[in-house]
Amino acid sequence: MNSVTLTAVAVRRSLITAAVTSVALSGFAVAAGSEETVERIEVTGSRIKQVDMETVSPVTVISAADIAMTGEKTVADVLNNSAINSFGSWRGMSGYGSGAGSTSSVDLRGLGSSATLVLLDGRRMPGTSSSSGAEADTSQIPMAIVERIEILRDGASAVYGSDAVAGVINIITKKEFEGMQVDFSLEEPSVDGGTTKRFSLATGYNTEKGNISFTYEHYSSESVMDADIWSMDDDTFFDYSSFSSVPNGYYNTGEQDEDGDDIYAFYSNSAMCDQTENTYNDTDGENNGRCYYSYGEVTKLFGDVSRNSFMTNFSYDITDDIKFRGRGSASLTETNTRYAGTPVSTSYPVMSADNQYNPTGEDMTIYMRSVQIGERDTTIETNNFDILGGFVGYSEIGNGVDWELNAQHSAATTNSFNYNLINDNIIQSEIDTGEYDIFNTQGLSYDEWDDQMTALYTAAQHTGVYEGKFESTQIDALVSTLAYESGDVSLAIVGGVEYEMIDFTQISDPESAQGFISGGSGGDDVDATRDRTAGYVEVQMGLPSNVELSAAVRYERYEQEGKLTGATGEVTEKSTFDAVVPKFGLSWRPVESLLLRASYGDSFRAPNMSEMFASQSLSFESGYDPVWCADNSDADYCSSSNQYKTWYGGNTELEAEEGNSLTLGGVWNVTDEWNLELSYYSIVYDNKIESLSISDILYDEEVNGSSSKVHRSADGKIEYIEAGVENIASVETSGLDFVTAYNLETSFGDFKFKLDVSHVLEFKKQDDAESDPYEYAGTQDYPDWRGNFSASWYLDEFSASLTTVYIGSQSGQDLRDAGYDYIIDVPSYMKHNFQVGYAHQWNGSITLGVNNLLDEDAPTWYNYAGYRDVNTGLYDVLGRTYYLRVSQQF
């Protein structure tokens, strides 16, 4: 689905043979010879305008036609299916805080979303508040404005600055549009829910002095329930929780086993469990055991989404050599997600032994879930604004000088409202009153008992509120020129400066921040600022024999400060990160049709403001306790999906991440109709900042000796875990990218074929200084093969296309060897999309298509089909999906 070289060759030849006005992001025609005027354009990967889209850096171009062929509904989905998006990317799902449930990101080479820089028309997109500005939300970009997507497949910190470790995605928007175009699309999956509608209106007007265009898009998508996605052998999805709508009591029986250890048991009301929806009665005897809750039957996988997007591009020629250009955009999104009713688990409530409704006469820890007042519904409002204005000019000094002066202001705000949470303190105080017969020891009718539980949870009901705002103001300028040209030797140079001021705040409601609210997240409050200053120079030297050398160097400095609240009150912490980052490139055309190239560059990424300055926040992480479960048996607690109370916070001692990348390869235009590209890449990513996973803590620290991060209760089970972010990881990855495209013209239509394959040779990750690097390539969730194939046909007003997405198999043997017998080998996955189109004589078109034509099921992780047992960031879980698109121009 991706094309590199045929497009590049066509552009290059047209530029060399004709005198045209610039269609680049900036700049005007530059003299390049005595007999012709050659347009130099700006290509992703270099700020030097040139006549060739093929440069020393490998760039994948996904055109608007390619995007249409994919049948995907958002830019995020298109990028997620890219072959170099090796291991998938995040897409918003229910159950995630700080507004992350409404965002999507892209993760090139598997190095993390914060290591991929996303640009819009060559400029940084505003980051999401849920990532403290470190990641761009690719789902917010309206499809109607996209002209093409350029993916730079190597590091480019020297050119674009921090974060471009794995590569750069540059989304080019439509400009100089004339007239009006209306588009409508409808998508209908075979599963219940997921219906998607998109309406867009684009209009533009051109004059001799300039142009203006305006695009509006409305996008809506219905929610998809987990219960309609996950295959199952029974109605309970094999996933239960002891935090149930019919409470379970856990108590010390007062007896001891043969080793002298106390014996603990569960108590639950079996009769009430049998009458309650979404429960599973697993009691041992009439009133001994527990009532499980099947949480996956009420949750939304993907929420309801409604988005309105606006964009305008405009330019005006002040003089023949000076142009004013600008861009404004806004995206207003509301997402409604749903998770199961709140488990009262931040602080477990206790029913004292002397409570009149205690059936055991012993202190009981209560596992309860507030299903009676409804599920946890979350409304997320995400608003993005961006305005750019600047002057672009040309001077005839010397061989000609291009210059730019720009100002840009961006803001991203998130407001999240999480309903039906529970105040643990109120729950405890209400239980202590002795007014609630939680275990129905009186033999109340079901309705009477249910009314009591509803009253209890209503008294403790809480709405969690999260507010996040990321605001950026940037001023930048650059100057470029063809400094020298004589015969086969030329020297082009560009230099620039940038200054950016960033404010970032996120805050939760005070109760959530204090850690006694169950069902949500809170406490990760941030109040920080960042100033970024950068200067860069890039040179490109043309030499005889079609050899070209390029070099870039960039100095970047981050000054950050954030407010932290500690035992001594509020303090302000400051930090500074700076680096000089170089990049070098070499290309050679031994013949016109063959380009050989190599590039090497360093990169770095400064810690973001949340990683450094976030106060402690509460999460519930799934994992397995190898210490307690080695000597004890509890099917619920010892499940790998059991959740543990986990506290996360910022780390002001973090250092900057560092990396380097090497690419080697070539592009061969075998004929005018057929091209080949082969590239090798190698990336080293050191000092990588990552959250300590509870698996790392439990296996690397707790198993090998007691860890101060793990806190256990009297019975030996985990009470809570303290985690955080540290410079603990390093990654070495390498691989091959292969792209080929072939065009065939016949008397019965024109055919276009494209194949794009990426093979990961190695992906070695070292999780800490003491552990050995582990080879992940080819293991579960790390496919070492990804590819896309497309075939399209055009004849007069008719067209048809077939695209195939391939994800290679993955082995689970290492995990099985470690004792996880339920892990399986993941088979290869192949999804086929087909569409037909008709362009009618009234300047419009109709397209009908189906994604996942053969209704291929996404492979599961385990040897049973359970709740969320598929990698939704890697696979399509909606099954066969039909779509209709109608476009009309006026």
The DSSP secondary structure of 273-325, one letter per residue, reads HHHSTTEEE--SSTTSS-EEE-GGGS-EEE-EEEEEEEEEEEEEESSSSEEEE
Got the DSSP string for 352-398? Answer: -TT-TT-SSSS-EEEEBB-GGG--EEEEEEEEEEEEEEEEEEEE-ST
Of residues 529 and 767, more confidence is placed in 529
Coil, helix or strand for 480?
strand
pLDDT at 176: 77
Does pLDDT of 190 surpass 60? Answer: yes
Structure confidence by residue, pLDDT tens digits, 172-182: 988 878 889 99
Separation CA 517–CA 289 (nearest Å): 28
17 pLDDT tier (thresholds 50, 70, 90) = very low
> Over the stretch 330-353, which tens digit does the pLDDT of each residue have?
999 999 999 999 999 888 899 999
The predicted structure's pLDDT at residue 125:
82
321 pLDDT tier (thresholds 50, 70, 90): very high
Q: Is the pLDDT of residue 827 over 80?
A: yes
Confidence of residue 635 (pLDDT cuts 50, 70, 90): low
- Residue 274 structure tokens: 């049998």
Apex CA 887: angle with CA 881 and CA 890, to 5°?
A: 170
User: Residue 672 gets which letter from DSSP?
Assistant: S
Looking at residues 658-684, what average pLDDT do you find? 94
User: Is 887 a domain residue?
Assistant: yes
Measure the CA–CA gap between 448 and 390, rounded to whole angstroms.
69
Does the residue 833 lie in any domain? yes
**Domain total in the chain:** 1
Task: Specify if 209 maps to a domain.
Answer: no
Mean pLDDT on 112-127 = 85
30-39, 373-382, 619-628: range with lowest mean pLDDT: 30-39
User: Which residues constitute the domain of residue 887?
Assistant: 778-890
pLDDT, tens digit (0-9, with 9 covering 90-100), for 687-721: 988 877 777 777 665 566 667 788 888 888 888 88
- Residue 746: pLDDT over 60: yes
Inform me whether the pLDDT recorded for 887 exceeds 90. yes
Q: Choose from 376-390, 511-525, 555-569 the range with maximum mean pLDDT.
A: 376-390
Judge whether 802 lies within some domain.
yes
**pLDDT band per the 50, 70, 90 thresholds, residue 56:** confident
29: pLDDT confidence band, cut at 50, 70 and 90? very low
In a domain, 835, yes or no: yes
Averaged pLDDT of the chain:
85
pLDDT at 374: 95
Is 855 within a domain?
yes
**CA–CA separation, 96 vs 461, rounded Å?**
20
- 53 pLDDT higher than 90: no
Domain-embedded: residue 325: no
pLDDT at 38: 47
456, 495, 449: which is closest to 476 by C-alpha?
495
Q: Between the CA atoms of 231, 113, 223 and 457, what dihedral angle is there, to the nearest 10 degrees?
A: 90
What pTM was estimated for this model as a whole? 0.85
> What counts of helices (H) and strands (E) characterise the chain?
12, 43
- Quick one: pLDDT at residue 629? 85
Candidates 344, 345, 341; CA nearest to 418 is 341
Q: Which residue has the higher pLDDT, 702 or 118?
A: 118
For 515-537, what is the mean pLDDT? 88
Contacts 24+ apart (CB under 8 A), 50-55: 50/492, 50/540, 51/12, 51/15, 51/16, 52/8, 52/12, 53/7, 53/8, 53/11, 53/12, 54/4, 54/5, 54/8, 54/9, 54/12, 54/595, 54/667, 55/550, 55/585, 55/587, 55/597
User: Is residue 5 domain-resident?
Assistant: no
Residue type (1 letter), 349? P
Task: State mean pLDDT over 847-862.
Answer: 90
Res. 21 pLDDT band, cuts 50 70 90: very low
Token couple for 257: 């086993």
pLDDT value of residue 156: 81
